[in-house]
Amino acid sequence: MKKLASKGLLMSALICGNVLWGGTAIHAEEIGEYDLDTMVVTATRTAQENIKVPAQVNVITAEDIKKRNVLTITDALKSIPGLYDARVGGMSNTANGIQLRGFGEESVLVLYDGMPMNDGYTAKVAWSAISIDNVERIEVVQGAASSLYGGRAVGGVINIISKDSDKDTAHVYANYGSDNTWKRGVNFTKKLDDKWSLGFGYENRRTDGYDRKPAFLYDYRAKPTHVNTELATGSNSTIRNDGRQVQIIGTPGKQASKDDNYNFKIKHKFNDKQSLTYKYSHDKFKSFSSDAKTYMRDSSGNLIYKGYIQLPNGKFLDFNESDFTDSINYKKVDVHALSYQDDINNIKFNVGLTNIKDNGYSSGSDLAGEGSGTKRIYPTKAYKVDFQKVWDKEKHTIVTGFDIQKDTMDSYTYKLAKWSDRDSTIGSSTTTFGGTNLVEALFIQDQYKFTDAFNMTVGLRLD
């Protein structure tokens, strides 16, 4: 991967009438309920009433999440108009499928306590890394926010803000559902004195999952290639959405997952308007298929996982255990966020690291998982520094600052002696590719108030 350097100038101008046009806060519990006085910060980097910001902003609060009893962040986001979630597998889903007004995750910036969650390889988001019970609020800005947040925010910004630690709380919970689905954990915060407070949380999510995809064949041959295998029956013919005819022979089984999330926070208040907060989150995720099923039977009616099919056109399809296996997916994510808030001088400063490690999968060809296989890992890191200063000058509200982000990624391939054990590596790894991206940016935005009803917002950014 080559290093690429470029400069871009982003500018946006919006004129809006606060009476005639403004953002609305749509609660996750009920789409028809509106709260126009909700304070939001993501759209303009300043706290304003939602109706007064020049953008469409949807807000989901911790209370909304509690009422709906959702299990994941994307479950909470589903109710937002204009947002599509294709992650229908729930907690065990490893696919990425958020779209905001037609823009995919690579064009939507996702922040968690100010740190970017889009990985440096595909720009997709590690949704499992965020504990839903630790979320205070989610602000979703729909539409381009590039002048304040950079080119990745061309489709919008999803800003996830975790709970603060400056009051005494304790929450122990356990939820159970179908398919042996569990969400259980504990969250507590403690105000130690007038200056110090801390918090800790743990959440365990697991499910046995369900049969989410079929095992199918489509590579027709003039004759069977497997020697001494059985002629099998039991397949179902269907047409895929790409027009290809396939033979469904079974399923890899249920897509199960295990997920453990820890979070820690400590806050020091210099006074009522100045504070320093450190937040840390760690997530370990694993998903795997179990109880593979075959529809194929031999001449005696026994279920088999190896054989061949003869089609009406005289051609053949071979199958074996590898057609029923599915990869084991895993991911570890560490998020460090240090933030300084100064409401006296209207200054915010954030620095941190999003470290997505052990991000990959292992695969093999036997259902028992005892044979050799391959492990692939795509670790990424995102280092982030962000500073902003706000001036309120009569009719002007000026926001200016800088941010620096460095993304690194690598790709490694290992051979495994036992493909179900990702620690059974044989020899050294092979580096497939890697790269580094460094973006330094200056930005300025001016919100000019013509009257109580109309204002103009102009933003300028140099990357």
Residue 7: its pLDDT value, please? 53
Mean pLDDT (the chain) is 86
Rounded distance, CA 318 to CA 221, Å? 8
* 399 within some domain: yes
244 or 432, which is more confident? 244
* 1 within some domain: no
Residues 237 and 318 in one domain: yes
Residues 304 and 281 in one domain: no
* 316 within some domain: yes
Residues 362 and 454 in one domain: yes
Select from 324, 343, 374 the last residue of a domain: 324
Residues 390 and 449 in one domain: yes
What CATH number has the domain bearing residue 126? Answer: 2.170.130.10
Domain count of the chain? 2
Residues 152 and 277 in one domain: yes
Residue 12: its pLDDT value, please? 42
Residue 43: its pLDDT value, please? 83
Average pLDDT over residues 4-24: 40
Residues 246 and 336 in one domain: no
Residues 334 and 241 in one domain: no
* 4 within some domain: no
**Which residues, 6 or more positions from 441, have their beta carbon under 8 angstroms from its beta carbon?**
150, 402, 403, 404, 461, 462, 463
Residue 282: its pLDDT value, please? 96
Residue 29: its pLDDT value, please? 39
* 421 within some domain: yes
Residue 138 has pLDDT above 80, yes or no: yes
Residue 446: its pLDDT value, please? 93
Residue 18: its pLDDT value, please? 34
Give 99's pLDDT tier (boundaries 50, 70, 90): confident
Least confident interval from 83-97, 315-329, 360-374, 414-428: 83-97
* 192 within some domain: yes
Residue 19: its pLDDT value, please? 32
Residue 31 has pLDDT above 80, yes or no: no
Residues 208 and 229 in one domain: no
Residues 27 and 147 in one domain: yes
Q: Which residues of 409-447 are buried (b: 16+ CB within 10 A; e: fewer)?
A: bbbbebbbebbbebebeeeeeeeeebbeeebebebebbb
% of the chain beyond a pLDDT of 70: 90
* 3 within some domain: no
**Range(s) of the domain holding residue 79:** 9-213+252-291+325-462
42 or 323, which is more confident? 323
* 390 within some domain: yes
Average pLDDT over residues 298-302: 94
Residues 452 and 419 in one domain: yes
Rounded distance, CA 36 to CA 141, Å? 15
Residues 371 and 306 in one domain: no
Residues 143 and 201 in one domain: yes
